[in-house]
Structure 1
């Protein structure tokens, strides 16, 4: 390398950088689809449900609980989550009057809406789910009117039928807010 062909060492580095940028290929990019609907998939019994991404504040493993006396059977208790008291509710127990069996796959979906800050125990979280507009359907999975009142619509992907479960709608329901016996 002669100094006369590219001038100073700084000019040589600038020349090398321009060659690298000229021949570099870009990183693969995921195509963004603005029409895509994204939510948090979860299982409640045999139902596959999905909550709008903006309605789930947090996902937790079931924390240690303190029982709360004189509450309905679907109130699991209260937990201290990073210094905040979080009431934990059994969503299966609330909707179907039968308690969920909490195991290693169980998770707590936290909803924070209109002054309601609560955790909902679900059987499992199935990760982020992406749906295209043509997968949307108006028919709802399952036949239980008690859970369907919180569903806005559904999505079909192959053989799977997902119901869109509104956490905000649940948090606004007077029956859900009345947890005392």
Structure 2
């Protein structure tokens, strides 16, 4: 229950910061920062949807290990994808780990009923939060964007959710 309250508080704070930035004419953050399997990712706010606490997921047989199943989010069935597993870093998750994780629904404009399981929400980020950037590696998937590096040396991989949602690996859930 405390996790749900903390998530609601985070959502209220994020919404308040975005609204204040719009009213004051400040630059609005571009990304939602998340962590999955010890990796740091930046997800474009325009492509991200609502954030949910972990809910029970109904497994679907004969699917990829990273496709956790379907969940009922606000009355709609949504496919739940383990972001870490999809990106090649599968994690054995305990009930405690799942209880502390979040589901990030993809924006409805992407026309995909899916949510990403992430281990931790790290807040909003804009370009001013980083001291350097690099192009993605040549062999990186098409949905990998720029790699941003913050003052602490943490590397944040930008993920284009629109391209990800249309990528053959994402669309091929059958095992």
Q: TM-score, normalised by structure 2?
A: 0.72
Q: Which moved more, 1:165-174 or 1:124-133?
A: 124-133
Provide the residue aligned with 1:165 in structure 2.
Answer: 159
CA deviation after TM superposition for structure 1 residue 59, in Å: 1.0
CA deviation after TM superposition for structure 1 residue 100, in Å: 5.1
Paired residues of 2:102 and 2:120 also in contact (CA < 8 A): yes
User: Over aligned residue pairs, what C-alpha RMSD do you find?
Assistant: 2.7
Paired residues of 2:31 and 2:124 also in contact (CA < 8 A): yes
Structure showing greater Rg: 1
Higher helix share: 2
User: In structure 2, what is the Cα distance between the partners aligned to 1:174 and 1:123?
Assistant: 24
Provide the residue aligned with 1:155 in structure 2.
Answer: 148
State which of 107, 110, 125 in structure 1 corresponds to 2:105: 110
User: Which runs of 5 or more residues in structure 1 are unaligned?
Assistant: 1-28
CA gap of 1:103–1:67, structure 2 versus 1, over 3 A, is closer
Paired residues of 1:109 and 1:119 also in contact (CA < 8 A): yes
In structure 1, the residue corresponding to 2:169 is in which secondary structure? helix
Is 1:132 aligned to 2:128, yes or no? yes
Paired residues of 1:41 and 1:128 also in contact (CA < 8 A): yes
CA gap of 1:158–1:170, structure 2 versus 1, over 3 A, is same
Q: TM-score, normalised by structure 1?
A: 0.70
CA gap of 1:92–1:116, structure 2 versus 1, over 3 A, is same
CA deviation after TM superposition for structure 1 residue 60, in Å: 1.0
Is 1:41 aligned to 2:33, yes or no? yes
In structure 2, the residue corresponding to 1:103 is in which secondary structure? helix
